[in-house]
Amino acid sequence: MHILLVDDEVELTQPLSQVLSKEGYTVDVANNGVRGMKLALQNAYDLLILDWMMPQQSGLEICQELRTQNNFTPVLFLTAKDTLDDRVMGLDAGADDYLMKPFELRELLARVRALLRRGSNVSESPQPASRLQVADLVYDRENQLAYRQNRLIELSEKEAQLLEYFMQNSGQLLTHDQIQQALWGEEEQPSSNVVAALVRLLRRKIETKSEQSLIHTVYGKGYRFGV
């Protein structure tokens, strides 16, 4: 597995790259965003670990640029930003997970394993149906695109996972814990705000003012998807 680590703190990247290498990963390191972006475009990585705030080019900008180029390599942000608005911004840019600085090394390794395992499962597992449909919303699983009333909806990796989970369980009450388990697994523990932020982003994309609501909030419990 090939990992790109981009952070301007050399005192962090040097020991962290050594630890990841000892775990059996091939690690490339960049200590500024411009170099990180160049490496991300030149090489095929299984995971990008990006610092959010860096001189020249931020991790957020790198993630946004890659997603506009249809590069959906999983992205793990290392960041001191912890507000709901920050998480919404990161998820909207296409991030797959967050880890707050300072962090425990054991937790970082668990999140790395989970992201790499999920990426491997997506590529290896057979998919029974290439398209899902609920009401007038169609989801193309292969291309991670949704369509509603002839409107093309582009989705980030996490938004696509959430939409697919909702559509596969249409009509059922899904709790925050169930959604978190489905999208992040047992080894990862995102903050309680992440699920709400991700639902907010997905709702904004698939429901315009003229369209019928599909994501229904069941207050104090979770969400129900469908008409």
Could you read off the pLDDT of 157-193 as tens digits, one per residue?
999 999 999 999 998 999 998 998 889 877 666 666 8
Is the pLDDT score of 15 beyond 70? yes
Among the four given CATH numbers 3.40.50.2300, 3.90.1150.10, 3.40.50.1980, 3.40.50.460, the one describing domain 2-124: 3.40.50.2300
Please give the C-alpha separations between residue 156 and each of 32, 54, 131, 161, in angstroms, as whole numbers: 24, 23, 17, 9
Question: Is the previous residue joined to 15 through a cis bond, with omega within 30 degrees of 0?
Answer: no
Please say whether the dihedral angle defined by the alpha carbons of residues 61, 194, 155 and 74, taken in this order, is positive or negative: positive
Q: Please, where in the chain does CATH 1.10.10.10 lie?
A: 131-225
The more confidently predicted of residues 203 and 151 is: 203
Alpha-carbon Rg for the chain, nearest whole angstrom, is: 18
CATH class of 131-225: mainly alpha
């009333």: which residue's tokens?
149
């814990």: which residue's tokens?
177
Q: Please, where in the chain does CATH 3.40.50.2300 lie?
A: 2-124
Task: Give CA–CA dist 212/29, Å, rounded.
Answer: 47
pLDDT digits (tens, 9 = 90+) for 27-79: 999 999 999 999 998 888 999 999 988 888 898 899 988 888 778 889 998 88
Tokens standing for residue 222: 């979770």
Q: Average pLDDT of the chain?
A: 86
DSSP-assigned letter for residue 138: E
Q: What is the pLDDT, as a whole number, of residue 120?
A: 57
Question: Residue 132: what residue type?
Answer: L
